[in-house]
């Protein structure tokens, strides 16, 4: 293979880290030319102009899981879809779901000995089922649908038309008679509700799963942070160190110039929350786990320098839902003992960033 494609497919994080140390904007020779930046100025330009930097033709189009719905729409259609979807994903709309999430999380709290990635995948799948469908989609079907996202490349990229059709049928059946208080009840009747929900499940599953596994691991290693009040700062620090959405891409719609780089129309333009979050100019001692960065008395967050959920009008639709699920799943881990046994939390990039794992932990009964 030529250029950077070999390293990109095998292990892109060291490649990105090396190049980022040489320049704030750099080129990658993949199957097509890509240009990557990670400084706030770059993020603001690329994420702030939806007409110049478009989703069509970007990396999400490579996987059937993400090549639909709002994820792959461009302006003006994109903004119209978000206008309709956003209100249902705000904190105040989700408030009605919190009790249901806590119940599910308590039922699937980690056992005495557990592997964090396995536990997290199970509880997140059940939380998504509860939030969207009141638990009405068969767990086995949801599992078959979501599991390929965890498998190594090229699994997440392969088309699965029959499986997707079955999932769509179940989503449609719930939308026809949705349990009150669920996201299905809120979204029923919206255009393309089935596709939007299917894509949201895929976008929300392994991202939340991997963040949860890292958060449990870090909490076990730092008992002083295991309090309900500290949880938001812990989550922000986990999302900074390990942004599941480690790379995002757009395609330049016209010739543009950003941060001194000339970008011809049609170029793949990448931004990287991973690189931004580990830039020592923005985050002192960036590799250290320090939730105090995010406490009320900590320093201000750098503008366009903290983007675990991206930023601008394409910011993650499910950011509040993700935080609600993470909070619910972690609350049972705040009481009693929780310890790391053995594991490898090193970030490894696939479709999303994940801990290399396994992450073996114990939570002895009190």
Q: Which residues bind ligand HEM (CB under 6 A)?
A: 60, 70-71, 82, 200, 203-204, 207-208, 211, 244-245, 248, 308-310, 314, 316-318, 321-322
DSSP labels, 183-232: HHHHHTTSTTHHHHHHHHHHHHHHHHHHHHHHHHHHHHH-GGG-SGGGHH
Beta carbon of residue 69, minimum distance to ligand HEM (angstroms, whole number): 7
> Do residues 285 and 38 lie in contact, with contact meaning Cβ atoms separated by under 8 Å?
no
Query: Cβ closer to ligand HEM: 290 or 354?
Result: 354
Beta carbon of residue 261, minimum distance to ligand HEM (angstroms, whole number): 19
> Do residues 271 and 251 lie in contact, with contact meaning Cβ atoms separated by under 8 Å?
no
3-class state of residue 360 by DSSP: strand
Beta carbon of residue 79, minimum distance to ligand HEM (angstroms, whole number): 9
Beta carbon of residue 294, minimum distance to ligand HEM (angstroms, whole number): 15
Compute the distance between CA of residue 334 and CA of residue 59 in angstroms, rounded to an integer.
38
Beta carbon of residue 279, minimum distance to ligand HEM (angstroms, whole number): 17
Query: Cβ closer to ligand HEM: 85 or 220?
Result: 85
Q: Hey, what long-range contacts does 289-293 have (CB within 8 A, 24 or more apart)?
A: 289/218, 289/221, 289/222, 289/237, 289/238, 289/241, 290/237, 291/222, 291/225, 291/230, 291/233, 291/234, 291/236, 291/237, 292/233, 293/233, 293/236, 293/237, 293/240
3-class state of residue 56 by DSSP: coil
3-class state of residue 123 by DSSP: helix
Query: Cβ closer to ligand HEM: 20 or 247?
Result: 247
Q: Give the pair of three-digit tokens for residue 34.
A: 């890509």
Query: Cβ closer to ligand HEM: 22 or 315?
Result: 315
Beta carbon of residue 353, minimum distance to ligand HEM (angstroms, whole number): 9
CA-based radius of gyration for the chain: 20
3-class state of residue 59 by DSSP: helix
Beta carbon of residue 70, minimum distance to ligand HEM (angstroms, whole number): 5
Beta carbon of residue 364, minimum distance to ligand HEM (angstroms, whole number): 28
Closest-CA residue to 333 (of 95, 112, 129, 121): 112
Compute the distance between CA of residue 244 and CA of residue 351 in angstroms, rounded to an integer.
9
Query: Cβ closer to ligand HEM: 220 or 326?
Result: 326
Closest CB to ligand HEM: residue number:
318
């Amino acid at each position: 293979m030529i250029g950077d494609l070999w390293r990109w497919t095998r292990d892109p994080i060291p490649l990105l880290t090396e190049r980022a140390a040489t320049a704030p904007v750099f080129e990658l020779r993949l199957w097509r030319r890509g240009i990557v930046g990670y400084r706030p100025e770059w993020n603001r330009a690329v994420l702030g102009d939806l007409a110049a930097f478009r989703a069509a033709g970007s990396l999400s189009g490579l996987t059937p899981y993400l090549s639909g719905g709002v994820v792959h729409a461009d302006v003006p259609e994109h903004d119209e879809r978000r206008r309709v979807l956003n209100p249902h994903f705000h904190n105040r709309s989700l408030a009605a779901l919190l009790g249901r999430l806590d119940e599910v999380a308590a039922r699937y709290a980690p056992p005495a000995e557990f592997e964090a990635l396995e536990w997290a995948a199970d509880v997140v799948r059940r939380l998504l089922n509860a939030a969207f469908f009141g638990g009405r989609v068969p767990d086995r079907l949801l599992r078959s649908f979501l599991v390929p996202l965890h498998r190594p490349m090229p699994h997440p990229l392969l088309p699965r038309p029959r499986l997707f059709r079955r999932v769509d049928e179940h989503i449609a059946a719930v939308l026809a008679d949705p349990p009150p208080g669920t996201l299905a009840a809120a979204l029923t009747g919206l255009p393309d509700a089935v596709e939007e929900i299917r894509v949201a499940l895929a976008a929300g599953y392994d991202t939340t799963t991997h963040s949860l596994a890292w958060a449990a691991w870090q909490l076990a290693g730092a008992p002083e942070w295991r309090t309900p009040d500290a949880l938001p700062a812990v989550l922000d620090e986990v999302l900074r160190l390990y942004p599941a959405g480690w790379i995002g891409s757009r395609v330049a719609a016209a010739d543009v110039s950003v941060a001194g780089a000339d970008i011809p129309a049609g170029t793949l333009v990448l931004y990287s929350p991973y690189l931004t979050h580990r830039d020592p100019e923005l985050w002192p001692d960036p590799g250290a786990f320090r939730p105090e960065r995010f406490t009320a008395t900590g320093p201000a967050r750098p503008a366009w320098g903290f983007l675990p959920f991206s930023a601008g009008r394409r910011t993650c639709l499910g950011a509040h839902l993700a935080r609600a699920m993470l909070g619910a799943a972690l609350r049972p881990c705040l009481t009693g003992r929780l310890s790391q046994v053995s594991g490898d939390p090193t970030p490894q990039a696939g479709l999303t960033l994940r801990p290399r794992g396994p992450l073996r932990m114990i939570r002895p009964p009190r």
